Amino acid sequence: MTDETQDRQPSAAESPQPEAVPAAQAAPVKPAAKRPAKVADEEISRRGFFSWAAVAWVGFSAAMGGCMTAFGRFMYPNVLYEPPTSFKVGIPDDYPAGVVDDRFKESNGVWVINDEGRLYALIAICTHLGCPPAWLEAQNKFKCPCHGSGYYKSGINFEGPTPRPLERARIFVDPSDGQIVVDKAQKYQWELGQWTDPSSFITLA
């Protein structure tokens, strides 16, 4: 055998052809080494998604609840329930001469007084800074517990820091039933000369 023969490369035609391999065998399915990790990642991300969805739902529900509460509150006006300014206090015979009647002080904020043939209603608010004075029967005066202002039965101030008398409310007899009506919406001040107004007292027979 010559060198030429040894060096010659076989031609393509002479080269042995690889055997045809079935497609199914061509790429053998190897179990992916990383697949379990991927599945685990998907599990975790799915769980995370549901966790965040739950948090978001709770937050949304809380926000909606707050909105509904605010809306419900908005639908109801801020009403301050106070006693009516106009009310009935009985008939004139219920008030004997000289009495300072405090039955309506707590409920309606007035004293009804029979003083020298006149009935009038004094408003139970101190004219200093608005505390409710008390009627002291033994001392025949109104006394304010806050800073010590004192008032006569008429409502005129005589001691303490208050600058002026108590105020009176409109008072009249309802002709339909003979009941005395006190109307706090209309007030009368002594220093303005309003106590002479016939609506500020009832003249007793």
| Per-residue burial over 144-177, b = 16 or more CB atoms within 10 Å of its CB, e = otherwise | beeeebbbebbbebeebebeebbbbbbbbeeeee
What is the nearest approach in angstroms of ligand FES to the Cβ of residue 110?
17
> Residue 113 CB: number of other CB atoms within 10 A?
23
What is the nearest approach in angstroms of ligand FES to the Cβ of residue 146?
4
Sign of the Cα torsion 129, 134, 138, 141 reads positive
Residues from 144 through 163 that contact ligand FES (CB under 6 A): 144, 146-149, 160-162
What is the nearest approach in angstroms of ligand FES to the Cβ of residue 201?
24
Segment contacting ligand FES by CB under 6 A, of 15-23, 110-118, 141-149, 151-159: 141-149
- If one asks whether residue 125 binds ligand FES (CB under 6 A), the answer comes out as no
Query: Which of 122, 123, 126, 182 is in the footprint of ligand FES by CB under 6 A?
Result: 126
Helix residue ranges per DSSP H, 21-98: 23-26, 35-75
- If one asks whether residue 165 binds ligand FES (CB under 6 A), the answer comes out as no
Contacts of 35 (CB under 8 A, 6+ apart): none
Q: Which residues of this protein are in contact with ligand FES, per CB under 6 A? A: 126, 128-131, 144, 146-149, 160-162
